[in-house]
Amino acid sequence: MASTQVETVTAGADKVRLGLAALLVVGALTAFYLLSKQGALVQWGALIAGLVLAVVVFFTSETGKRLIAFGRDSWREVQKVVWPTRKESLQTTAFVFAFAVVMALFLWLTDKTLEWALYDLVLGWRG
């Protein structure tokens, strides 16, 4: 039962952090528009400062920590990928290009054969 209370406290604190991060984003956008008469430097400074603070608060929440862990795991998986060499890439590209040309010729030949069979032999429209 104690673990349930700990989860509730953590979940409640997490919701507060996420709400605070959302309020900081709204506050940063509001400050950006309200400080338009103060100059671009103050305006953009307030926006960037508010957004950076919102990101920091978000990354202290459990959701933010899970996002960081997901990013690390994804980066590890990308590093495990065996990328093809330049030679393999060129060979594969050439094979795909050659296959596309052969298929185009096959479909063109099939189309012309059916055109000849239907229009000349069956219907007799040409000739």
What pLDDT score does 127 carry?
53
76/95 Cα distance (integer angstroms): 31
pTM listed for this prediction: 0.56
Cβ(100)–Cβ(107) below 8 Å = no
Among 12-16, 57-61, 67-71, 87-91, the least confident range = 12-16
Using 50, 70 and 90 to split pLDDT, how confident is the model at 126? low
What pLDDT score does 9 carry?
52
103/110 Cα distance (integer angstroms): 10
94/114 Cα distance (integer angstroms): 30
What pLDDT score does 11 carry?
81
Decide if pLDDT at 8 tops 60: no
Which residue in 60, 58, 76 sits closest to 22, CA to CA? 58
First to last CA, the chain: 92
Using 50, 70 and 90 to split pLDDT, how confident is the model at 95? very high
